[in-house]
Amino acid sequence: MDYGLVALLPTVLVLALAIWSHRTLESVLAGALFAFFILEGAAFLDAIAGATLQVLMTEDVAWVMLVCGLYGGFIGLLVKGGGSHAFGRALIDRIETKRGSLLATWGLGLVIFLDDYLNSLTVGATMKAVTDRFRTSRAMLAYVVDSTAAPLCLLIPLSSWGAYFASLLEQNGVAAEGEGLQVFVETIPYMFYPIVAILIVPLVAMGIIPLVGAMRRAEHRAETTGDLGIHEDNALAVEESSRGSMMVFFFPIFALVFFTVFPSIDLLRGVIAAILFTFVYYALWRVMPLFDLFDTCVDGIKSMVPVLSMLLTLFVFVEANDRLGLTPYVIDAVSPFMTAELLPVVVFVTVSLLSFTTGSNWGVIAITMPIAFPLAQTFDVSIPLVMGALFSASGFGSHACFYSDSTVLSAQGAGCKTHEHAITQLPYALLGALITAVLFVIVA
């Protein structure tokens, strides 16, 4: 059934409720319920129950839920073991200004490039003590963290994003079997949004790009009243230890990277192995008693329950939008505007809007790539250029969407409200998108 313009209504409802209520989870849940009401009428409860079960049984969703939950346990061990405190303490001894603390946060984010989930949680949890010292709002911390999470992972072939998009390139015939990663590397120079988003951060930190809107108010409140906008209900539910050395931080991180990358990229295997390594390492060096290790890991996983709830609700909402045919409807609506000169920018703007409104970053790309690739061939436009526009759009959606996984996790890692993080960083994400759109017009 073709739902036409009606397919947009659940997304409009989610955005309106999120802006009005400042509550993300409830807004997405309302959108999902409304979408299934459109699809099934009075039987919408049965439909959403069945869809939720179906989503949970999907391998990709189960993988995300497991990885996020276990990352919570892993970060909990780093915090309770005192590793993140020792690292932060070492930075505090060397950093003398607020600008320096933000640039250090940006730099740490550039180092942890393996996965945006790990980046968001680790950098936020580690740098809170450093930025708090200089009365930096948690919203600003979350913005810096978020801007070096998904955007950076898009530019690194060895990241989870690189592995996923390389496989999509092969599945859609854009790259021959076994050559997906090579073609992905060719698109990196055209991934303008992640490059621009990352470069905007130090300009904001140094005051070259001024604070505006909600970010300016958050920073003014933090500097004048000391109210940093801390919201720890969704933060790691473990108390940070003041004992421990930086090796308690770096050895587990190294183990995570090693087991994730070798012999092939597998984040789930990596985090399981890293937790086991941390257990043995902490036990041998008597960082904490054995039973405390188990309790801390479990507490860390428990702290991820709000995030896991948000992710599950988001996946159900994405499933509802897929059944409504939202993405094909939008693509059909903009197809008359596609020409050889405008194709890259139209692809970027259209898919950015889809990714931003639906909260689906990887899913939207999987749907739109089979459409974008033939269009690039038809108009004889550079394949890497169009794919770069497509991947840039995914990065923008992940970065800017009020309820994307990256937004939720960055807010959690920094210890601020998800809605405040989304509102405060949106002007800078939109600036990056505007610059990106201009670059695609120029390059095409």
- What is the DSSP annotation of 43-71? GHHHHHHHHHHHHHTSHHHHHHHHHHHHH
Tell me if 86 sits within 8 A of 245, measured CB to CB: yes
Q: What is the DSSP letter of 95?
A: -
Six-digit token string for 439:
């670059």
Series of mean pLDDT values for 10-residue runs along the chain (444 residues) = 86 86 85 94 94 89 84 85 75 86 92 77 84 94 92 82 82 83 92 96 95 95 93 52 69 88 81 94 88 90 82 86 86 78 92 85 80 85 93 91 86 89 95 97 89
Crossing angle of helices 305-324 and 59-80, rounded to 10°: 160
**pLDDT attached to residue 389:** 95
Q: What is this structure's pTM?
A: 0.80
List the one residue out of 443, 362, 428, 371 whose CA is nearest residue 190.
443
Could you tell me how many helices (H) and strands (E) the chain has, helices first? 23, 0
Q: Is 416 helix (H, G, I), strand (E, B) or coil?
A: coil
**pLDDT attached to residue 243:** 55
In angstroms, the CA 107 to CA 271 distance is: 23
**pLDDT attached to residue 217:** 96
**pLDDT attached to residue 439:** 97
Give ∠ CA 118-124-130 in degrees, rounded to 5: 140
Buried b (16+ CB within 10 A) or exposed e, 5-39: eebbbbbebbbebbeeebebbebbbbbbbbbbbbb
In angstroms, the CA 444 to CA 434 distance is: 16
